[in-house]
Amino acid sequence: MKRVCIIGISGKLGQYMVEHALARDYDVVGVCRAQSVHKLDRFKDQITIFPGPTDDADIVARAVKGCDGVLVVLVPWGVKGYAAGTAQAVLDGAAPDARLVFSCGWHISLDGQDVYSWRARAFLKIFGWIAKGLRFADIEDQVEACRRIFSSKARWTVVRGSDLEEGPSDGLPVWSHHVGDPILASNMTKRIDFALFMVHALTNDALIHKAPAIVGCATQSARADAGSARPSSE
């Protein structure tokens, strides 16, 4: 892996991914909204920024050109298909053999085998209804984005984040194929470690065409599970 593009580079997750990518000596380019470029001032001599909306196919195509890895922050802001547009722009613009790693939440399901608590289902339903009603976000947009990714022939991984918190790194999160697995019960990951997993996935071919649901490696549920054979060792 030599050159990586981070789509949505100016957000919290994006900036952590910049740190991890630079620590690996990758050339880093990224796309973010023009009004957010200033958030990256501390990296300005080390990265190349393509200002613009992350669903702009022309800007994304220019940014991902020559990249062997693309890290994508999928966000369902607004009600005009921003996440689906972002995913499509990356799928169309990236080289066929590029590693594509997308971020989303546990609510996305690859195979319908995830098991959600009634509380999670109720939250998603109510939040989704309010967000769409107020037109600030559309959860279904992220579902559509992932449907397109899952059905593509690209070398993708969709990393499904638990609830997130700030704080120092605990190390690489552990993961499961399915929400509902006891290892995930703590439902908490440091945001810096979510970013670490995204960057780690770029070079882990065992994660191609998988949608790992992650949780912090220092959480109670991860520690309780330690010792048994886990897919996190893949």
Ligand X SMILES: NC(=O)c1ccc[n+]([C@@H]2O[C@H](COP(=O)([O-])OP(=O)(O)OC[C@H]3O[C@@H](n4cnc5c(N)ncnc54)[C@H](OP(=O)(O)O)[C@@H]3O)[C@@H](O)[C@H]2O)c1
Residues in contact with ligand X by the rule CB under 6 A: 8, 10-14, 32-33, 36, 39, 73-75, 77, 82, 103-105, 161, 163-164, 191
Using the minimum distance from each CB to ligand X, give the nearer residue, 123 or 129: 123
CB of 228: closest distance to ligand X in angstroms?
A: 25
Nearest of 164, 183, 169, 163 to residue 231 by alpha carbon: 183
Alpha helices of the chain — where are they, by DSSP H? 12-23, 57-64, 82-93, 118-133, 139-150, 191-201, 220-225
Nearest residue (CB) to ligand X, 87 versus 98: 87
Question: In the complex with ligand X, which residue's Cβ is closer, 82 or 175?
Answer: 82
* Closest to ligand X by CB, 72 or 227: 72
Q: CB of residue 218 vs ligand X: minimum separation in angstroms?
A: 18
Q: In what order do the strands lie in the sheet with 27-32?
A: 47-51, 27-32, 3-7, 69-73, 99-105, 155-161, 213-215, 174-176
Shortest distance, CB of residue 112 to ligand X, whole angstroms?
19
CA 224 to chain centre: 26
Least distance between ligand X and beta carbon 53 (Å): 7
Nearer to ligand X, 2 or 126 (CB): 126
Residue 125, judged by CB atoms within 10 A of its CB (0-12, 13-18, 19+), counts as exposed
Please state the length of the chain: 234
C-alpha 73/C-alpha 76 separation (Å) is: 10
Structure tokens at 177: 């194929």
Quote the least distance from Cβ 14 to ligand X, whole Å.
Answer: 5
Closest residue by beta carbon to ligand X: 11
Give me 10's structure tokens: 């100016």
Task: Write down the least CB distance from residue 2 to ligand X, Å.
Answer: 24
Nearer to ligand X, 52 or 231 (CB): 52
DSSP 173: P
* Contact indicator for 55, 182 with CB cutoff of 8 Å: no
Closest C-alpha among 126, 121, 109 to residue 211: 109
